[in-house]
Amino acid sequence: MAKLAIAGGNPVAQLAMPGWPVHGEEEKRRLLRVLESGAWSWMGEMETAFNAAWAEFNGAKHSLLVANGTVALQLAFEALDVGWGDEVIVPASTWQATAAAALDVNAVPVLTDIEPDTWCLDPAAAEAAITSRTRAIAVVHLYGRMADLDALTEVANRHGLALVEDCAHQHGSQWRGRGAGTIGDIGTYSFQQSKVMTAGEGGAILVQDDRLFGRLDQLRNCGRYSPHLPEADQRYLQSGNYRITEWQAAVLLCQLERLPEHLDRREASGQRLDALLAQAPGVKTLTRHAGVTRQSYYAYGFRFLPEQWEGVRRDRFLAGLSAETGLSFWGGYEPLTHTFIYQPHTKRRHRLTEEYWRQIDPRRYRLPVVERSAAEERVILPHEALLLGPEAMDKVAEALHKLHQNQSELRAVS
């Protein structure tokens, strides 16, 4: 008789992924208020209120809502005057937007390897990738871990480089008591449907410098003058419309009100998994840098160790763990070196010169840590599951032990 659920046996648990996004009467009330106001866009009551609240929550001087997280990154690079002839260091383990934003300002995204135990940008690899053309480092705090901001800030400062924090996965995280996105020169956020704060789409930029904030405000508003710049700095800029709507800002105000409770619930689940999986066979937990004083989770990740599973492939393990728990485990993003969502050579406008065309080809990189992690090791549990609480995480650990004890059956499943 089969023991494993994937082979027809009884599962450890029949948990269910919670519905997402979370919403209620408060969203309805605020959306109706926007509807009746007739002011549906461009620095209305809701947008102004959210910018103030989001800046205060993160300890930033300024917050600026924009159309989405990709635009937030692009405007960050433009505000820092990154462009043609420049290079931006980007971890190769991230969503394509981080690299695409550098590409879209005509810079070269230099794909770089990661730390094996955080899946975030490796400071040593970043420093090794610096050339005379490097202008910025884009650091991505990925899934449920933050990059080593102490080391990366030191590298950036020593080489005179801008540091841009991509915080699309880190709403509420803190480094030494400071909000994610406030340590570098500019921090960017996404509020896309899957994020832990969402308005369907949307993004935000955090910045401390007044003039940089004014320039960002211009860039997101068709290049118009910004009231946040002194008269001496006012000049029109070539730009486009990257504004958000009042509808989205209204929803985000509600999402921000829910965030502290959700942060606590996810953190409790994440810490329980860290403790349980540290004692489990065949896997390894990720490192939490000492500088992290509060950890948000876009997802909980851990490492599958193939050498301890007697021929069981990672995809079989993912399917087995999902079947035992009812939760949705997956392998995470493909490396930017070979993924269908990052294809610079499909756009003719990127063929500025033959040399540039060669430089932006992601296939030219060989990044062993990224490639091994993506192909063999990475296991991801989406953030919604962490809202189930620590007791549900006990079932995940129980299921993992069960799989390891029945490896031959797991290996034999077709």
- As a three-state string, the secondary structure of 153-172 is HHHHHHCCCEEEEECCCCCC
CA–centroid distance for 330 within its chain: 16
Residues with Cβ within 8 Å of residue 195, at least 6 apart in sequence: 168, 169, 171, 298
| pLDDT value for 227 | 87
Residues with Cβ within 8 Å of residue 328, at least 6 apart in sequence: 17, 322, 381, 382, 385
Burial 310-323 (b: 16+ CB within 10 A, else e): eebebebbbbbbbb
Rounded to the nearest 10 degrees, the angle between the axes of helix 45-58 and helix 25-37 is 130
| pLDDT value for 386 | 98
What angle is formed at CA 104 by the lines to CA 98 and CA 106, rounded to 5 degrees?
A: 115
Q: CA torsion 117→119→120→126, rounded to 10°? A: 80
CA–centroid distance for 64 within its chain: 18
Report the side by side order of strands in the sheet with 283-285: 283-285, 299-304, 378-382
Residue 293 parent element (H or E): strand 292-294
pTM score, whole prediction: 0.97
Residue-range domains of the chain with CATH: 25-254 (3.40.640.10)
Contact between residue 189 and residue 72 where contact means Cβ atoms under 8 Å apart: yes
Contact between residue 321 and residue 307 where contact means Cβ atoms under 8 Å apart: no
Least Cα distance to 297 among 275, 330, 277, 271 occurs for: 271
Contact between residue 191 and residue 250 where contact means Cβ atoms under 8 Å apart: no
Least Cα distance to 386 among 305, 307, 260, 272 occurs for: 272
Residue 168: both structure tokens together = 């699309």
- What pLDDT tens digit does each residue of the chain (414 aa) get? 789 999 999 999 999 999 999 999 999 999 999 999 999 998 899 999 999 999 999 999 999 999 999 999 999 999 999 999 999 999 999 999 999 999 999 999 999 999 999 999 999 999 999 999 999 999 999 999 999 999 999 999 999 999 999 999 999 999 999 999 999 999 999 999 999 999 999 999 999 999 999 999 999 999 998 888 888 778 889 999 999 999 999 999 999 999 999 999 999 999 999 999 999 999 999 999 999 999 999 999 999 999 999 999 999 999 999 999 999 999 999 999 999 999 999 999 999 999 999 999 999 999 999 999 999 999 999 999 999 999 999 999 999 999 999 999 999 997
Residue 303 parent element (H or E): strand 299-304
